[in-house]
Amino acid sequence: MVAVSLHAHSQTNYFVYRTDAGTDTIFAKNIGYEVTAQGYLGKITYIDLEGKIWEMEGKKNLKNVETFFIGGGWTDKIPQKTSKPDSYVRWASRIVDGKLKVNYYSHSIGNSFTSNFTKFYIKLPDGVFYDIQKSRDMKEHIIPFLKQCEAFNAAYKGDFDDEFNKFVKMIQLYNSVCK
């Protein structure tokens, strides 16, 4: 398992998990978690706002966590492959927040030969993830969705580009004009 221990004392941290009734949030002072090679949570530890230490381990005891907010940033559970959303997962940084959410994941492996594994996804309001770097996802899902907002169409005059910085700016504009 890979351990991620993130602590931020200056602000409240939290994680969001899915329940049968919707979602719930646990607020905490410190949060740490470990993930398996497949990306699933193996362990969560946190200190609640009253100072009690909590540790949850094992599949039955873990909440279906979707998001961590730690130290001012979000980390979201994303599918490893958008075509198989119920398969393996990864935990990715949320780089754009709003109606549309954009996540970025990068992992390098190897010593003498380095392999880089990246994911650059957008999550639409229906909860479905699309791979920004796949032209089919851009043409069939992302661009048609963006074009549904008249305010965005009036404000955006650029190309629908999958280049990282251009795409991020385009989605930030969308989130600012389309509620």
Q: Does 48 map to a domain? A: yes
Using the predicted structure, report yes or no on whether residue 22 has a pLDDT greater than 70.
yes
Q: How far apart are CA 39 and CA 88, in angstroms?
A: 6
Lowest mean pLDDT among 29-33, 85-89, 95-99, 121-125: 85-89
Q: Does 87 map to a domain? A: no
% of the chain with per-residue pLDDT over 70: 86
**pLDDT tens for each residue of 57-113:** 886 667 688 999 998 899 999 998 898 888 888 899 999 999 999 999 987 666 655
On average, the pLDDT of the chain sits at 86
Q: Does 41 map to a domain? A: yes
Using the predicted structure, report yes or no on whether residue 145 has a pLDDT greater than 80.
yes
Domain of residue 11 covers 1-71
Q: Is 171 helix (H, G, I), strand (E, B) or coil?
A: helix
Residues 160-177, mean pLDDT to the nearest whole number: 95
Residue type, 74: W
Number of folded domains in the chain? 1
Which strand (E) or helix (H) includes residue 68? strand 64-70
User: Residues with Cβ < 8 Å from 109, sequence gap 6 or more?
Assistant: 115, 117
User: Cβ distance 122 to 130 under 8 Å?
Assistant: yes
Q: Does 1 map to a domain? A: yes
Using the predicted structure, report yes or no on whether residue 9 has a pLDDT greater than 50.
no
If you ran DSSP here, which 8-state letter would residue 51 be given? Answer: S
Q: Does 113 map to a domain? A: no
Q: Does 26 map to a domain? A: yes
Q: Does 80 map to a domain? A: no
- Three-class secondary structure assignment of 108-146: EECCCCCEEEEEEEEECCCCCEEECCCHHHHHHHHHHHH
Using the predicted structure, report yes or no on whether residue 29 has a pLDDT greater than 50.
yes
Q: Does 23 map to a domain? A: yes
Q: How far apart are CA 52 and CA 154, in angstroms?
A: 52
pTM: 0.83
Using the predicted structure, report yes or no on whether residue 2 has a pLDDT greater than 80.
no
Q: How far apart are CA 164 and CA 169, in angstroms?
A: 9
